[in-house]
Structure 1
Amino acid sequence: MSDIPSRTAETAAGGAVDGDLARARDGDDIAFTRLVEPLRRELHAHCYRMLGSTHDADDALQDALLRAWRGLARFEGRSSLRSWLYTVATRTCLDVIEARGRRALPMDLGPSSDRVVVGDVPLTDVAWLGPYPDAGIADGPAGPDARYEQREAVELAFVAALQHLPGNQRAALLLFEVLGFAAAEIATMMETSTASVNSALQRARSIVAEKIPSPTQQRTLREIGDARLREIVAEYSTALERGDADALVALLTEDVTWSMPPLPHWYRGLEAVTDFAVRVPLTTCGSWRHLPTAANGQAAVACYRWNDDAGAHLGWSINVFGLRGRRIREITSFIGLDHFAAFGLPASLP
């Protein structure tokens, strides 16, 4: 008897969805919005994983939902609405990948620099990987058959590794390992054979396994705990604001890396990173202010740099940290005020 209320609720919910679907097919855009709204966040995260850019994900999702709205009459209900929307979103992203190619981090372009490069100039002809706000990431796995947690699947190392895969392999890996679709379902979604999907999965797993460090950031963050994580972010911010090189170096691993897309040069190892930090952000960039945030399921901080003309600290970069144990092994500074709006961050600080 205890199951009756829940089954009644499920039946009512199913009836509401069917009613909205019928109304949407008749041209009711409000009914269509009600149908897709519960899936919007996870579809957006899927587009980011495919494309490596929040801005591209915004555009791709908008395009995909427009395609779905216009093609709703072709949805015959043989699969779930969720599966069909993922089909439309995936094909939309594949079109973008074919037209634009993959996104990169500085380490994809060349070796690290041993000494600071003063006056490094942004490369504007490179499609750069971008950060993703944690507010758009769900917790846990997407389904019982998913191998990756949702937050693991947006970690920078994972998304960067995906960029080295052809579009079909990228899509197959995400649909199977992250979202838990069966190979036969994916074959239908991508209009190919199950054998082709399994082959794509095999090749994709091999490439991704070579590029992703272990353990994942999710495991590391659970091990060190929230209190130590807050300490790391606060100590990093304080070190930059005070120009304290010793305090900054104390937070870093011996093999730390620091990259700053869209700047092409990057640094590996404590000596090179210290040389860069002392000669650039700690001494020549002026005053800094910071706000803690979270990006790609990882610890992060928003950096604001003083601007004389504005008379304020303007948004400069989103710094995403990769941790090993209780220290920082990787800093990726995504430079550009255009990143701040997606994180709900102010454009300036006093």
Structure 2
Amino acid sequence: MSEISQLTAEDPDLARAREGDDAAFSRLVAPLRRELHAHCYRMLGSAHDADDALQDALLRAWRGLARFEGRSSLRSWLYTVATRTSLDLIETRGRRAMPVDLGPASDHTVVGDAPRTDVAWLGPYPDADLTDGTAGRYEQREAVELAFVAALQHLPGNQRAALLLFEVLGFSAAEIATMMSTSITSVNSALARARRVVAERVPSATQQQTLRAVGDARVREIVEGYAAALARGDADALVALLTEDVTWSMPPMPHWYRGLAAVTDFALRVPLTGCGSWRHLLTHANGQPAAASYLWDDAAGAHLAWSINVLSLRGERIAEITTFIGPELFPPFGLPLSLP
């Protein structure tokens, strides 16, 4: 437990912050900003929405600091504010979707697939600064894995909040009841329902378990092999890396593909031969290996940022490719927008 978790009403920085010292307030919240942001992402499924939620939550906390009496930890109080702020955003913005939520897989390549702008899409999360020092059942990186965050989107806001606060952050049912202004019975009921939904949608083996079993060196070889196969237009090399039941989705494109035949057909028609020259940078997203794709642009005379490809492994094969399209995704990952 960090020192900030045990702050009392007599803490000097807390007293200064209550008197209007914004620098003191910034010092108070700085050690918790990253984990609060990750919490907002889990709740909302969007790094952009998490930015908005955290900014709003910290503003609410700053304005309401006088109401913090020190009976609970400052960490608990800030999580209360961040959770309630996220619940408000869920009410106005709804849940985030993946292509699999919109309909069945396509068994052949959809030529000219157009982006769906009427759908709020789940987005990738830059995980470089996440630590594993949580008190709950899930590690921080497990708790931002795509399958887990996507499953959370199928829960009502109160169930989503209860599950995260209990399983990921280690708060007790009694603490959560206080944080959410409800009863312990209601919290336990929400937890039971949330666990059932998540268990149905999340693989039993997490990506963190798989990655540890495979080992860093081999994981890097797999990601490098994926990137090299796309860059060379080598279908055989790509197929050799995939599971028989592999899936490939490309939000904001609505169509997605399942199985080696459909995925191979798509790869041959679109990224391998139908787009142009690719370059890639290896990165990480959602606690998983990823490759940032850059597509050649004649007018710019450079390879421009195109997509973040998040890979889910089963053993030493790629079981799922999620290609998040859009150059706006690159800056949060510290990635350049072009490669010369």
Q: Is 1:29 paired with 2:19? A: no
- Measured in 1, the distance between the counterparts of 2:234 and 2:10 equals 58
Supply the distance in 2 between the matched residues of 1:14 and 1:70 (Cα, whole angstroms).
18
Alignment match, 2:33? 40
Deviation at 1:136, TM superposition (A): 3.6
Residue number in structure 1 paired with 2:337: 347
Asked if 1:90 is matched to 2:80, the reply is: no
Q: CA RMSD in A?
A: 1.4
User: How far is the alpha carbon of 1:309 from its aligned partner?
Assistant: 1.3
The match for 1:326 is 316
Could you report, residue by residue, the CA deviation over 1:133-189 in whole angstroms, capped at 9, with x for unpaired residues? 12142125x11xx11111111000000000000000000000000000000000000
What SS does the aligned partner of 2:119 have? Answer: coil
1:157 and 2:159 matched: no
Task: Write out aligned runs for 1:1-350 (5 A).
Answer: 18-140=11-133, 142-143=134-135, 146-350=136-340
Deviations 1:196-231 (A, max 9, x none): 000000000000000001211000000000010110
What is the deviation of 1:14?
A: 5.8
Structure 2: tracts of 5 or more residues without a match: none
Deviation of the 1:17 alpha carbon: 7.9
The SS at the match of 1:134 is: coil
TM-aligned CA deviation for residue 117 of structure 1? 0.5
**Within 1, Cα distance between the matches of 2:224 and 2:327?**
22
Cα separation, 1, equivalents of 2:107 and 2:130: 36
Displacement of 1:78: 1.0
Provide runs of 4+ in structure 1 moved above 2 Å: 13-17
The TM-score with structure 2 as length reference comes to: 0.97
Q: Distance in 2 between matches of 1:136 and 1:195?
A: 35
Name the count of aligned residue pairs.
337
Contact 1:68–1:88 under 8 Å retained in 2: yes
Q: Say if 2:8 and 2:70, in contact at 8 Å, map to a contact too.
A: no
The answer to whether the 8 A contact 2:8-2:73 is kept is: no
Quote how far apart the aligned CAs of 1:276 are.
0.2
* Equivalent AA in structure 1 for residue 85 of structure 2: T
Encode CA deviations 1:11-52: one digit per residue, 9 max, x unaligned. 9x9689800000000000000000000000000000000000
Q: How many angstroms apart in 2 are the aligned matches of 1:55 and 1:17?
A: 35
Percentage identity across paired residues of the two chains:
79
Query: Partner of 2:128: helix, strand, or coil?
Result: helix
Structure 1, unaligned runs of 5 or more: 1-9
- In structure 2, what is the Cα distance between the partners aligned to 1:183 and 1:39? 22
User: Which residue number corresponds to residue 4 of structure 1?
Assistant: none
Aligned-pair CA distance for 1:284: 1.0
* 1:17–1:35 Cα contact (<8 Å) kept: no
Partner-residue secondary structure (3-state), 1:229: helix
> Does structure 2 retain, via aligned residues, the 8 Å contact 1:305–1:314?
yes
